[in-house]
Each structure stands twice: as structure tokens, then as C-alpha cells.
Amino acid sequence: MYLKAMAELSNHEAVATARLAEHLNVTPVSANEMVRRLSDQGLMIHTPYKGVTLTEKGRTIASNVIRRQRLWECFLYDYLKIEWARLYEMACSLEHATAPEVTEALAVFLGHPTVCPRGNPIPEADGSFTPLNGTTLNAITVGETVTVQAINATATDVLQYLYERRVLPGCTLTVIEAAPLQGPLTLKINEKEIVLGLSLAKFVITKPNPTE
Amino acid sequence: MYLKAMAELSNHEAVATARLAEHLNVTPVSANEMVRRLSDQGLMIHTPYKGVTLTEKGRTIASNVIRRQRLWECFLYDYLKIEWARLYEMACSLEHATAPEVTEALAVFLGHPTVCPRGNPIPEADGSFTPLNGTTLNAITVGETVTVQAINATATDVLQYLYERRVLPGCTLTVIEAAPLQGPLTLKINEKEIVLGLSLAKFVITKPNPTE
DNA sequence: TGAAATAATAAGGTTTGCCTTATAATTATC
DNA sequence: GATAATTATAAGGCAAACCTTATTATTTCA
Ligand SMILES: [Mn+2]
Ligand SMILES: [Mn+2]
Ligand SMILES: [Mn+2]
Ligand SMILES: [Mn+2]
């Protein structure tokens, strides 16, 4: 879980232990303890006051965890019709209980999908994968129209909130207004206007609208 | 796990804590401790020196665990082509991580199967199920020909051993000889003769051969 | 540059599910 | 009916992954 959290949080730069604690719903002290244990195992490197980075070994394991996680998300969504917002949490439980044989057989069964239902890439069996190159929605200029590439959130309530507003991978939206003082964005999706706080907008990865 | 073990071991009579310990690969003392905890929770009843029984509540939970377990076995076998002997262990891990929504969606996806690949019945969502009515192979008279209804084993090595000798649900076999002093059985399966120890034969549930 | 905020450590605790070793109670067997 | 085997309980421990409450170190910023 820590390794996965690391991979989920980091875009190659170091992750603050406080962010890890937050993401994993654990106290900062607990996160620190765990970081120490994983560092001792050679899976991450902790530079005090700077943050945590994965080692090669750690990154490989993390990739495999994410692979399992996202393959399950695909299965749960495409075959079991589990509701979109709960895919992450359910796949997250299954992931821990998945043997390598099952992971690979699942990949074959699913036809080697390359993205999960949240739009995030699925690492290859060898751990390699192309990270998303999109821009987070909070960084989009007012007036621009973009397509949602992925939702980077994992918390069910966040996913549920975005789902209800139809902010989903593949949808096209226009940034109508950005309130001052880091205020919320007003977006147009499917001819409807919605308001989205900046912290939520950070979870939305966008790419330039292909029709433009 | 204890509840499932109970359900797997008991044919309605009490189960000795020593059997539980054995089945779960745990010391008798640990099994006793756990039995106490589960009794405190009202899931089982322990009559010292007599054995353990499930309460209604315990039986319902156990049925659900078994349902999840066997549905996963079906999925792993039919769709992921996992090897027969490892189905139990892999489904056993997944089972712990399976939410009720996933269980039911899986049942729908699989078309509500009634038996698992080992031939054991899959309980309904309400916990009800018809236990097997067959005779264990060790109790079959020499000369009789029977059909294997189910394999009641859970340990991978036992399942592997039976698989290699093609003692599988649906197969037909004849008891050629029973060695004296609780010695092994000689069986004829697919025109081949094999020898099977009595303790292994206990795992094989048979029914009268339909062609006779 | 000196507080205030943030991050790290230290110390001690809890829970769960195991373990060993020892003793006591019951049941089975000769 | 005595002895042996089985079963149960008592007592003390361990490891993992959490927790709280302090204390200390570093960084940030007014
Ligand atoms: Mn997980
Ligand atoms: Mn299990
Ligand atoms: Mn400590
Ligand atoms: Mn104790």
C-alpha cells in the first residue's frame, strides 16, 4: 500500500511523508515508522525533511501492485458492472490477494488493456509504463476546452462527487471561469455548468481537445 | 477462516478443536484461543472435550464465505484457466477481499453456478445449500463402480496428487482391491490402475455409477 | 533573523493472531 | 480401575501496524 501510494503520489519527485500519511489515512508518525521499515528493506529512500523516493526495487514492486489494481478495476467495471466510484476501493482490496499467475491470467482474459476505467495507464508485467503527460485541470487557462484523460483520485467520496458531475475520462469540458484567490472553477460539461473546487480539479488530468 | 473451516469439516456434528487446528495449520492452543473469541462473538459453541458447533449466525457467515470462495474458484477455472489444484488456495485469498456487491455481481456474471470445480455445492446468497449426499471413497465396497461427485480436500498438495492421478469430479472408477489393516485402495480409472491411501480416499465423495 | 510551521524522533501503548511451555481436567483404553 | 492419550487452560511472549504524547530538529517566512 505504501509503495502504491508512493507511485500514485509521485511524478518522479520526492513525496513528503505528510502526503503519504494523508493519502493512507494514517498519522504522520505511523507513516514515518513505515517509511523507516520500507527503507530498511531497500524499497525507498528517505531524506529527512526532503521526502521519500522509491528505489528501483521499490518502483518495480509498486508497478506490479498498480498493475494488479488497475486490471481488477477493468474486470470489475467491464464484467461485473460495479459502480465507477467504488472500483478503486474494491480493486484495492482484491489486489492484496492476487497471485502473479492470477494477475497475468486476468490480463490475458481482459485482452491486455492499457488503461483502467479511471483513465490511468496499466503498467506492463515487467513494470514499465508510460506516465500520463496531461495537464491537471487546475492549471488550464480560462476559456480553454479540453478532454479529460484520467481521474487521478482514489478516495471513493471524491470519485463519487466527480462521477455525479460527469467529470469522467473521455468527456470534454470548457473552463468558463476561475474565481480569484484560488477559488473554484466554473466548467461547462455536456451543456451544463458546474462548479469545481481547485483541490478537486487537481485530480483531473486533461489533454488538449482533439477537435480543436 | 475458522468459520469456513468449521463448515468444511462438519457434517452437522461437532468438530474437535484438534481437527480445526490441523485444518488451519495452527497449534491446538491457538485454535482453542480463537474458538473462545468466536464463541464470545456468538458464532460458535464450544462444549469442552466434545467439540465445536456453529450457531445459526455462524453458519450463515460461513455459508457466505464458502459462497465467495467457490464462486471465485469457478471464475479462476473457467475464465482464467488457473490450474485445478491451485484453485482453492487462490480463491481462498481472494475471498477475504470480496465485498458483497462483488460476490453477487460475480454470481450473475458466472450465471449462478451451483457447484465449484471441485464438485462442491455453492451456497445461495441467503446461506442455504444442499450438502453433498455421496459416500466417501474409503467406504465403498470392493468391486463397486462409482462416479466421483466431489473432492472435499483443500490442501494444494492433496489436490495436486489427486489431479495427477485423474481422480476428479465426474470421473468413473472401480474399487479393485482394499488392502487389509486399513491399507490403501487399488482403483481402476480410465483403464489404468492406481493406488490410493485411505486418508486420501476420504476426500473423494462418490455417488453410485449412473450407468449401472 | 527569529518566530511559527513543519517534519522527525523518542517513548510507551494497543490489538490481533499467532507461538511455547507448563499444568490440569477429562476421556479412552488395557 | 489405573494409566495413557487427548483436550483444555494458564501464563508469558512476539511481531506487525497502528496509536498518543512529548521533544527535538529543520525549514519557511514575516
Ligand atoms: Mn490495496
Ligand atoms: Mn481464505
Ligand atoms: Mn516503541
Ligand atoms: Mn496472555
Strand C contact at CB of residue B1, distance < 7 A: yes
What does the block give as the cell for B178? 482394499
Q: What is the pLDDT of residue A143?
A: 96
Distance CA B187, CA B170 (A): 15
CATH topology of domain A2-54: Arc Repressor Mutant, subunit A (1.10.10)
Look at residues B128, B175, B134 and name the one whose alpha carbon lies nearest to residue B151: B134
* CA atoms within 13 A of residue B183's CA, in its CB half-sphere: 9
Cell of A183: 477559488
The C-alpha cell that represents A37 in the structure block:
521499515
Establish if A76 touches chain B: CB-CB under 8 angstroms.
yes
| Predicted local distance difference test score (pLDDT) of residue B1 | 74
Q: A109 CA, D1 C1': separation in Å?
A: 69
pLDDT at B209: 84
CA dihedral for B54, B59, B65, B69, sign (positive or negative): positive
Q: Separation of B145 CA from ligand 1 center, angstroms? A: 49
Mean pLDDT of B12-26: 94
Which positions in chain B touch A96 (Cβ < 8 Å)? 97
Cβ contact B126 with chain C strand, < 7 A: no
- Alpha-carbon distance values, B151 to B84, B101, B103, B118, B121 (Å): 11, 28, 23, 5, 11
Picking from A76, A81, A106, the nearest residue to B80 by CB comes out as A106
Question: How far is the C-alpha of A67 from the C-alpha of A122, rounded, in Å?
Answer: 5
pLDDT at B6: 83
Indicate the average pLDDT of chain B. 95
Could you tell me if A202 lies within 8 Å of chain B, comparing CB atoms? no
Candidates B90, B110, B112, B156: best to mutate against A (most CBs of A within 10 A) is: B90
| Residue B43, min C-alpha distance to chain A (Å) | 25
What digits encode the pLDDT tens for the residues B32-56? 999 999 999 999 999 999 999 999 9
Q: Is B110 on the interface with A (CB under 8 A)?
A: no
How many helical (H) and strand (E) elements, i.e. helices and strands, does chain A have?
8, 8
> At A119, is the secondary structure helix, strand, or coil?
coil
Bases along strand D below 7 A from a protein CB: 6-11, 17-22, 26-27
The answer to whether A49 CB sits below 7 Å from nucleic acid chain C is yes
Q: What is the pLDDT of residues B100-143, one digit of tens each?
A: 999 999 999 999 999 999 999 999 999 999 989 999 999 999 99
Annotation: CATH topology of B135-208: SH3 type barrels. (2.30.30)
Which cell numbers in the block locate residue B48?
469442552
Report yes or no: B162 and B117 within 8 Å, Cβ to Cβ: no
Query: Pairing relation of β-strands A172-178 and B204-208?
Result: unpaired
**The pLDDT value given to residue B102:** 98
Are residues B99 and A90, on separate chains, in Cβ contact within 8 Å? yes
pLDDT beneath 70, residues of chain A: 211-212
Helical (H) or strand (E) element with A188: strand A185-189
Which residue type occupies A158? Answer: V
Residue B210 in this model has a pLDDT that exceeds 80: no
Structural domain boundaries in chain A: 2-54, 135-208
* Contact between residue A61 and residue A51 where contact means Cβ atoms under 8 Å apart: no
